A and B are shown apart, each in its own frame.
Chain A
Amino acid sequence: MEKSKHNPNKDFYGKNLSGIEILIRSLIEENVEVVFGCPGNAVLGIFDALLDIAGNIKVIFTRHEAGAILSASGYARASGKPGVVIVSSGPSASNLVTGIADANADSIPLVVFTAQVPTKLIGNEAFQEVDIVGITRPITKHNFLVTKISELSNTIKSAFYIATTGRPGPVLIDLPKDVMLEKFTFEYPETVNLRGYNPVHSAHTGQIKRAAEIINKSSKPVIIAGGGVTLSNASGELRELARKINSPVATTLMGQGVYPEDDPLSLGMLGTHGTLYANIAVSESDCILIIGSRLSEKTAGEADKFAPNAKKIHIDIDPASISKNIKVDVPIVGDVKDALKKLIPLVKNLNTEEWLRQIKIWKEKYQLKYEQGEKIHVQYVIEKLRELTGGNAIIVTDVGQFQMWTAQFFKFLYPRTHITSGGLGTMGFSIPASIGVAMSIKDRPVISLNGNRGFQKNLQELATVVLYNLPIKIIIFNDGHIDITRQWQELHWKKSFDELLIDKACPDFMKIAEAYKIHFFQAESTLDVEPVLKKALALRDKPVMIEFKTIYEENVYPYIPLGATVRDIIEH
């Protein structure tokens, strides 16, 4: 990260500081702007000092640690900067687990500080003690237990470096209470000393040449762009490449927005709930260029039947993501932006007219559609949202059917405008994540899309929304059911478990809004959707909750069942 010219910390170099103060000075060194956290016994000292010393660092106190970590994740996803979390020991720390796993699955940079009982009590079943380093070992990129104050500033420097470089991810630092109270000479290291961690940044030119040769021979190319393009801020290079080789571009869920979906070359989203034409194009292609995606089973489907006729080129910064699910012909390890910059001059201006004509036919034949009626269809709301915002909004989706409909119908134009839990599929993601997004994005509306069940998974964070007066537009699609679970239930199992799938004690959302003193709108008929959305969006400076009572018993199509291919697609 860039350092500001005047470093106020310089005055403290060489001074004897407490662990707490070293932590806060280190956050200032890392140019941290926002910290998300929950006060608790073991971190009170840290927050006290944070508010006292670091005047420029904004502290957002959430109601729940699960909210804090997802807020930080939302902040990181929208801003591209690492999200920082500070919470207490024991239950506070263990409450972070899902959010950490979520960030790990989506390669989101987070630096998480947890308090720990004093070193001499560790392992003694002390009050509010958990082995959070042990618990989070498989779901963090790396984690640390600081046992000596002399290691504190080095550890923090390393944590930020590890979280933000290579394939980004969450890093956790566990801080025993006694270490934080000890004193030590403060110095902030300029560089890190991690001999076991050397992520490859620069893509291998030999491999790039091999890739270019294959691309130049292709007549039916397809580019698959994933979240790595977002993380590497390489959507400009992607556009340049696609337009140079005249290749259609499909994105994964995490890659949405890196290529404008209103562009004729865009195929929209690929995969289980992706567009039929994207899936067909991939299966018919002769050259697939996979950029910054691990090609999960949700994207690629059955591995042996994925793009059977295509030569495959895979660019990813993480060597372990290449040839993990799909065997490829040309692996390229390196930063996506760097690789694309090297690749663009080597590729020819391809003539793919015939291929694009074919794709146009598929696009017309298999265009996304839905029925319209008096009752509200989610797709209609999404299309209206897109129309009213012109795509200039950050859409933060929770998990469910409406998430897939958003992916299909919003037609994202810009990177980092669809914030969603892709890999882990964390319900309860949207409200806390939008808090983080709203801390970073001030010039465009932040819209949180929820189902009736996901909304209830972290609704305590409405208090945080109100407390900091974050102008988030919270939309709830309420059909009284658990949609996507119901869809799977119907298609794959007997219907006899209906009991489980009806949201029987679904609360009155109007009363919830009233309880939190949030402005509330409700619509039950299609005709009311547009006026309600307009009114809600017009309230620019305050949070709004909107409930759409949507039609029940509708499935997301197209749908490729797990383990199947595009030939088995359920179109409607």
Chain B
Amino acid sequence: MKHTISILVENKFGVLARISGLFSAKGYNIESISVGPTEDPTISRMTIVTNGDDDQIEQIIKQLNKLVDILKVVDLTNEPFVERELALIKVKVNPHTRSDVIEISDIFRAKVVDIGPTTLTVEVTGKSDKITAMIKMLAPYGIVELARTGVIALKREFKGEVYDPKEIKLLQKKAKQNPDTERKKTES
């Protein structure tokens, strides 16, 4: 199963190596990883997307928690979260196909950010599957180059969102729990 793990780390050299080393030592592939500083410049947020069964992920999260430079690990998979990815796609175009490509870009609310005689570069943001869908739509025209940022994600708050009843129950349960749940989580 796919898991999106959000990690707060010390903004120091070597931290990325420790984390990626943990995954590689266990033979787990990191599907995507993105890192950047947070509102506190001494702390960075890493978002890692990986595959594994629940036991494997539980063990990985426990191992991550043991790393001295890691401040917090959250597996977002079981809670509502916002995820976004950005991609730059350079597509082959000619005078006949250019408008088609622009039209597809519009549908995906993508922006044209560079244009040349034979190519067009578009910028698209969204969930990973939206980006994959757009890439599939553009593939027939010929994709020259492609860069994806990997997923970044944050936990959702209640406001302005519509949840299905199951999700609401889950959140109510969470809100009821003692805020001092970090340790209990590891114990149970």
Contacts and interface: CB of A to CB of B under 8 A. Distances in A.
A138 B70 contact: no
A141 B68 CA distance: 8
Contacts of A141: 68
A195 B71 contact: yes
B46 to A, nearest CB: 13
A127 interface: no
B173 interface: no
B188 interface: yes
A345 B188 CA distance: 23
Contacts of A204: 183-184, 187
B185 to A, nearest CB: 9
Contacts of B59: 320, 324
A319 B65 contact: yes
A434 B68 CA distance: 32
Interface in A116-171: 133-134, 137-138, 141-142, 145, 162
Contacts of B63: 320
A333 B17 contact: no
B130 to A, nearest CB: 34
A418 to B, nearest CB: 27
A333 B14 contact: no
Given A142-B68, A162-B68, A324-B59, A137 B187 contact: no
Interface in B81-100: none
Contacts of B62: 319-320, 324
B1 interface: no
A369 B110 CA distance: 78
B186 interface: yes
Contacts of A50: none
B174 to A, nearest CB: 19
A332 B187 contact: yes
Given A319-B62, A320-B62, A320-B63, A196 B10 contact: yes
A179 to B, nearest CB: 15
Contact of A319 (B9, B70, B71, B186): B186
Contacts of A207: 187
A196 B70 CA distance: 5
**Interface centre among B65, B66, B71, B183, by most A CB within 10 Å?**
B66
A453 to B, nearest CB: 29
Contacts of B71: 195-196
Contact of B186 (A137, A142, A333): A333
Interface residues of A, number: 23
Nearest to B184: A204
Contacts of B58: 323
B50 to A, nearest CB: 17
Contacts of A331: 187-188
Contacts of B188: 331
Interface in B51-70: 58-59, 62-63, 65-70
Interface in A169-208: 194-197, 200, 204, 207
Given A137-B21, A320-B62, A324-B59, A145 B68 contact: no
B175 interface: no
Interface in A395-410: none
B3 interface: no
A197 B67 CA distance: 8
A120 B6 CA distance: 35
Contacts of B65: 319-320
Contacts of B70: 196
A318 interface: yes
Given A200-B183, A204-B184, A133 B14 contact: yes
Contacts of B184: 204
Contacts of A323: 58
**Interface centre among A319, A332, A333, by most B CB within 10 Å?**
A319
A324 B68 CA distance: 20
Contacts of B66: 318, 320
Contacts of A194: 68
Contacts of A324: 59, 62
A196 B7 CA distance: 11
B187 A319 contact: yes
A145 B12 CA distance: 11
20 contacts: A134-B17, A137-B18, A137-B21, A142-B68, A145-B13, A195-B10, A195-B71, A196-B9, A196-B67, A196-B70, A197-B68, A204-B184, A318-B66, A319-B186, A319-B187, A324-B59, A324-B62, A331-B188, A333-B186, A333-B187
Interface of B: 9-10, 13-14, 17-18, 21, 25, 58-59, 62-63, 65-71, 183-184, 186-188
The 7 closest A-B pairs by CB, nearest first: A320-B62, A319-B186, A142-B68, A197-B68, A196-B71, A331-B187, A196-B70
Given A142-B67, A196-B10, A333-B187, 15 more contacts: A133-B14, A137-B17, A137-B18, A138-B25, A141-B68, A145-B13, A195-B10, A196-B9, A196-B67, A196-B68, A196-B69, A196-B71, A204-B183, A204-B184, A331-B187
Interface of A: 133-134, 137-138, 141-142, 145, 162, 194-197, 200, 204, 207, 318-320, 323-324, 331-333
